[in-house]
Amino acid sequence: MIRFDAVTMSYPRTNRPALGAVDVEIGKGEFVFLVGPSGSGKSTFLRLVLKEERATAGAVYVAGRDVSRLPAWKVPALRRQIGVVFQDFRLLPGKTVSQNVAFALEVIGKPRSVVRAVVPEVLELVGLQGKGDRMPDELSGGEQQRVAIARAFVNRPTILLADEPTGNLDPSTSVGIMRLLDRINRTGTTVVMATHDNDIVDQMRKRVVELDEGQVVRDQSRGVYGY
């Protein structure tokens, strides 16, 4: 589903690549934690999958396509296959919960009848039934992250990328978010999550890919956060 083939990525005006000759293969339906110190390249990895950055050398394959060869007009179609969740939720503050989720469908031109049917379904899936009319600032952090996950998943992407999704949440709220990501993964969605949350990684026992200074230094199935 995602394959990095000797991927090097250097940002302009830096003397060390953010990723150096990285080889990683992530199969359909896998759940992978990306761990490593700050600056080790986790977010860069995720940005390359989304074609928000371009590899300096090597190739990034997503769903069988070499994204560096993807013409600009096909990038929106690539991104429609990928849901993204961030540490800071990134909800639209002036829209209700339902409107935030609906927006993700409206921008890709789904008919209103579909939006009306699908939004309550996904809100129920994330445990927010009955809260569709709330504004984001009327929700807890964990609930806001559930809205963000609903928005990322409503279009049933094949891949879900999560960049520190529990970074702003307390431990028990984080466990709830991880249960939800696990459930989404069980529907067949490939999940790649960058995290510093050692407790979560140790509890989940999923595949762990560890980066350090842009290199893969560990790739372990049913791994833990660190040795």
Ligand X SMILES: Nc1ncnc2c1ncn2[C@@H]1O[C@H](COP(=O)(O)OP(=O)(O)OP(=O)(O)O)[C@@H](O)[C@H]1O
Tokens of 77: 């179609």
If one asks whether residue 11 binds ligand X (CB under 6 A), the answer comes out as yes
The answer to whether the beta carbons of residues 216 and 22 sit under 8 Å apart is yes
Cα–Cα dist 108/85, whole Å: 18
If one asks whether residue 38 binds ligand X (CB under 6 A), the answer comes out as yes
Please say which residue, 40 or 98, places its beta carbon nearer to ligand X: 40
If you compute the radius of gyration of the chain from its CA atoms, what whole number of angstroms results? 17
* Minimum distance, C-beta of residue 155 to ligand X, in the bound complex (Å): 25
* Minimum distance, C-beta of residue 11 to ligand X, in the bound complex (Å): 3
The answer to whether the beta carbons of residues 33 and 190 sit under 8 Å apart is no
Please say which residue, 44 or 144, places its beta carbon nearer to ligand X: 44
Tokens of 212: 């350090």
Other CB atoms within 10 Å distance of the CB of residue 9: 23
Cα–Cα dist 218/36, whole Å: 10
Cα–Cα dist 8/21, whole Å: 5
* Choices 10-18, 90-98, 121-129, 183-191; region in contact with ligand X by CB under 6 A: 10-18
Binding residue count for ligand X, defined by CB under 6 A = 11
* Choices 25-33, 34-42, 89-97, 153-161; region in contact with ligand X by CB under 6 A: 34-42
If one asks whether residue 166 binds ligand X (CB under 6 A), the answer comes out as no
Binder of ligand X out of 29, 39, 141, 167 (CB under 6 A) = 39
Please say which residue, 80 or 196, places its beta carbon nearer to ligand X: 196
If one asks whether residue 113 binds ligand X (CB under 6 A), the answer comes out as no
If one asks whether residue 120 binds ligand X (CB under 6 A), the answer comes out as no
* Nearest CA-CA partner of 181 in 173, 169, 189, 172: 189
- Footprint of ligand X (CB under 6 A): 11, 14, 18, 36, 38-44
